[in-house]
Structure 1
Amino acid sequence: MDDDKHAFLTDLLTTPSPSGFEAVGQRVWLDYVRPFADEVWTDEYGNAVAVHEGSEDADVSIAFTGHADEIGYIVRDITEDGFLRIGAIGGADRTVSKGQHVTVHAETPVAGVIGQTAIHLRDYEGEEYDDIDEQFVDVGADGEDEAHDLVEVGDPVTVETRVRPLHGTRLAARGMDNRVGIWAAAEALRSAAGADVDATVYAVSTVQEEVGVQGAKMVGFDLDPDAAIAVDVTHATDNPDIPGKRTGPVELGAGPVVSRGSANHPSLVDLARDAAEDADIDVQLQATGTRTGTDADAFYTARSGIPALNVGIPNRYMHTPVEVVDTEDLDAVGELLGAMAAAAVDAAPFGLDL
């Protein structure tokens, strides 16, 4: 991965963007895509779109999308002692939250920690994990009034971590889900613009995926592209503690993952696989018999049905503060999306031929 792309990814990963509070992260994304987009715009909830205008004669449009939001917490109450009771934003994992440094994104950011009683003081035999709404943040306040001077109910909270290179091309950070998806959408647009492809290409950074693919529902109706490719993380199942029944074919560093089944339109599966073969890009396959769990689930039922596909990026330890991806997979997914954009006109129309 070259320095500019790596710097962009780092900027995304270090900008907190919990669901419902994505504005700051969306500004980072928009600043990056503006130089090579013909037009950019946002909607009322902060979904962001950048476009490469293709040939008028081609009249084919394809959208590459990721979601800007991340899981987190939200302040739901302040106790008399000055501690903050929290709730979950999205699928926050209660087993990894205690003992973490956090930031409360108040008018002025406030440092805190999610409290964990010392092991010396707990009867830990047979203990169970507390639900998120039973946990609390300690910001150092001496009582309720002092805490109220710092934060308000409804302020979002994110875990404070850093982007840390691991050995080789592996990278660890909070919020890979799904900064890597909006990174890939931006790189797809840059590739399409650089090649001046005939298709009209939209890069989209949606909001509120983690709370029910809400932004994609808005964008799918408003944009109405001929095809929508949702790029999101998917579970790498190659680490030692994956349960046997969950073990699957997805490996870190083995390339982008093309999903088959449910929302994934067969014509777009073919487009992705053919483009990968022509560009000599290794891809993996994944079965999604019921749902993808991504924005593709919203796009394919928008309006009268938008042909959709989920392209996955292998990710270890999803929804924890230490998600791990391989940057070679990121480079490969950017190349794959660019190849799909270049081939879109020849592959269209995308409807089933019955």
Structure 2
Amino acid sequence: MQTAQREFLDALLTTPSPSGFETRGQRVWVDYVSEFADRVETDAYGNAVAIHDGDQGDDTEFAVGGHADEIGFIVRDITDDGFLRIARVGGSDRTVSKGQHVSIHTDEGPVQGVIGQTAIHLREGQDEEYEDIGEQFVDIGAVEDEDAEELVEIGDPATFSSGVQELKGSRVAARGMDNRVGTWVAAETLRRASEAGADATVVAVSTVQEEVGLNGAQMVGYDLDPDAFVAVDVTHATDNPDVASSARGPVELSDGPVVGRGSANHPGLVALAREAGEADEIDHQFQAAGSRTGTDADGVFTERSGIPSLNIGVPNRYMHTPVELIDTADLDAVAELCAGMAERAAEHAPFGVDI
């Protein structure tokens, strides 16, 4: 991965962007794509779209998107003693939250706190079941409610304070890989397709509020109505030791992009992904999606009269924790695969199924 692209990834990962509060992260994305996009647009809720205008004689529109939002917390109450009661934003995991540093993102800037965890010495003999998020609390050092209210207010979002950690080789751990990596791929697909002079109009999308209901994807899908949409998101690499045998699947870290099959995944786009992967010698994996993909593809494919959609995954360990782990070689390969699909899209459109 080149220096500029890695700096862009790190900027995305270190910019807080909880669902419903994505503005700062979207600004990072818009600033990056503006360097090479023909046009950049945003809508009322902050979805961002960057466009490469293809050949004027070709009306194919090929979109690649990821979601900008991350899971987190939101301040729902302030106790008389100055502690903050919190609620989930998206699928925050109660088993990893206690004892973690968090940042509360206020209009005046970040406020630091910790999610309290009673010391093990004082828990001896107690039930070790994990409390629900709503029963946990953040300590910002305040001694009473008025003290806390000078710094935060009800409805302020919060995220873990973990940063980006380099591991061995090309592996990296951080919070929010889900799904800054998808927005990174969307931007990189646009850049590479633009440099290659793709005949199709190529659209990069960074959506909001995926973690709370695929909301941004539905807005964008209706507004764009592209010929094809590829949703790039993380997917579970199940090759770590503590994954139960019943949950193990074929996806492994460092084995390349993961192409979904079934449910929203359109057979024509699966075929296009196969062709691009084989032609460009990109190692790739397949994953079954019998009922739904769990990604923005589910929000887009039923818009209008049906938009051919595909989910391509970036293998990820420890999803929805502060230490999500990916291989940047996988990430680069996903961008290469999507760019290869974009370059070939005009040859395959319109997408449909033979009956």
TM (normalized to structure 2)?
A: 0.99
Aligned position for 1:276: 277
Shift of 1:124: 4.8
Give secondary structure in 2 for the equivalent of 1:57: coil
Aligned position for 2:215: 214
Aligned position for 1:20: 20
- % identical equivalent positions: 66
Aligned partner of 1:113: which letter? V
Aligned partner of 1:285: which letter? F
Shift of 1:106: 1.0
Q: 1:78 to 1:266 in 2, by over 3 A?
A: same
Give secondary structure in 2 for the equivalent of 1:4: helix
Aligned position for 1:9: 9
Q: Distance in 1 between matches of 2:14 and 2:60?
A: 35
Equivalence map 1:187-336=2 (5 Å): 187-336=188-337
Shift of 1:260: 0.1
Aligned partner of 1:324: which letter? L
Aligned partner of 1:143: which letter? E
Aligned position for 2:61: 61
Q: Distance in 2 between matches of 1:124 and 1:268?
A: 56
> Structure 1, residues 293-339: CA drift from partner, whole Å, max 9, x if none?
00000111011100000000000000000000001001101110110
Aligned length: 354
Give secondary structure in 2 for the equivalent of 1:157: strand
Aligned partner of 1:116: which letter? Q
Aligned position for 2:174: 173
Shift of 1:246: 0.7
Give secondary structure in 1 for the equivalent of 2:298: helix
Shift of 1:58: 1.3
Give secondary structure in 2 for the equivalent of 1:228: strand
Q: Distance in 2 between matches of 1:6 and 1:56?
A: 33
Equivalence map 1:13-52=2 (5 Å): 13-52=13-52
Shift of 1:126: 3.9
Q: Distance in 1 between matches of 2:111 and 2:203?
A: 37
Aligned position for 1:84: 84
Q: Distance in 1 between matches of 2:201 and 2:219?
A: 20
Give secondary structure in 1 for the equivalent of 2:34: helix
Q: Distance in 2 between matches of 1:134 and 1:126?
A: 15
Q: Distance in 1 between matches of 2:17 and 2:124?
A: 37
Aligned partner of 2:95: which letter? T
- In structure 2, stretches of 5+ residues that fail to align are none
Give secondary structure in 1 for the equivalent of 2:188: helix
Equivalence map 1:140-159=2 (5 Å): 140-159=141-160
Deviation beyond 3 Å, 4+ runs, structure 1: 123-126
Q: Distance in 1 between matches of 2:25 and 2:86?
A: 22
Q: Distance in 2 between matches of 1:83 and 1:338?
A: 48
> Structure 1, residues 68-101: CA drift from partner, whole Å, max 9, x if none?
0000000000000000000000000000000000
Aligned position for 2:98: 98
Shift of 1:56: 2.0
> Structure 1, residues 7-31: CA drift from partner, whole Å, max 9, x if none?
0000000000000000000000000
Shift of 1:125: 4.9
Shift of 1:353: 2.1
Aligned partner of 1:168: which letter? G
Give secondary structure in 2 for the equivalent of 1:111: strand
Q: Distance in 1 between matches of 2:176 and 2:92?
A: 11
Q: Distance in 2 between matches of 1:165 and 1:320?
A: 17
- In structure 1, stretches of 5+ residues that fail to align are none
Q: Distance in 1 between matches of 2:106 and 2:36?
A: 34
Aligned position for 2:139: 138
